[in-house]
């Protein structure tokens, strides 16, 4: 089984009930392909959503999503890197790289600027790092997205977007 990230966008904002209904409606098709929904993160705008699944392979998940009528922008296999702290994540940082990067280099860079996170009451919880090493999603426990934005800027970390979210899981 591999970890797969699915990025979604909805024209009309989703409610909490909408998210759970989507999960329920796709459950049968996902089960047929041996796929397990792990969790989802719905942006505070109700339109952006990141979903984490465990699947036998990437193509099985893509096929199951298409057959269940689920829309998605992209999907990619990832490795999961927990920080080893117990905290509920509330803010996501999306990173893209033109060239493959080493997670160790990114981690060392963030560790070197750990004071920036602490100064803004931001704690790193875990990340998803794409297998091609060009995409990363980092989850933080923080008072708000602005605190994470300031900490990332001060640390000089690469950022594509930063957004607060609601967390859903089975």
Q: Encode pLDDT of 142-160 as tens digits.
A: 999 999 999 999 888 889 9
pTM across the whole model? 0.89
Q: Which of 98, 90, 77 is nearest to 124 (CA)?
A: 90
- Report the phi/psi class of residue 156: left, alpha or beta, with left for phi > 0 and alpha for psi in -120 to 50: left
Condensed to tens digits (0 to 9), the pLDDT of residues 74-120 reads 899 999 988 777 788 899 999 999 999 998 888 888 777 778 788 89
The CATH number assigned to the domain holding 146 equals: 3.30.70.3090
Domain range enclosing 123: 79-168
Residue 83's CB: how many other CB atoms inside 10 A? 16
E-assigned strand segments in 44-134 = 48-55, 74-82, 91-96, 123-130
Q: What count of residues does the chain have?
A: 170
- Count of structural domains within the chain: 2
Q: Note whether 124 and 88 are same-domain residues.
A: yes
Q: Note whether 72 and 83 are same-domain residues.
A: no
């Amino acid at each position: 089984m591999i970890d797969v990230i699915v990025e979604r966008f909805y024209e009309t904002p989703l409610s909490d009930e909408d998210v759970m209904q989507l999960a329920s409606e796709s459950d049968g098709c996902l089960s047929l392909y041996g796929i397990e929904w792990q969790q989802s993160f719905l942006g505070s705008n109700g339109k952006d959503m990141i979903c984490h699944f465990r699947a036998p392979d990437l193509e099985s998940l893509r096929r199951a999503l298409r057959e269940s009528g689920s829309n998605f922008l992209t999907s990619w296999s990832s490795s999961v890197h927990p920080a080893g702290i117990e905290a509920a994540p509330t803010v996501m940082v999306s990173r893209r790289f033109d060239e493959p990067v080493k997670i160790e280099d990114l981690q060392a860079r963030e560790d070197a600027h750990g004071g920036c996170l602490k100064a803004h009451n931001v704690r790193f919880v875990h990340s998803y790092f794409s297998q091609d090493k060009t995409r990363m999603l980092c989850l933080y426990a923080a008072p708000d997205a602005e605190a994470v934005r300031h900490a990332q800027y001060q640390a000089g970390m690469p950022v594509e977007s930063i957004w607060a979210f609601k967390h859903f899981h089975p």
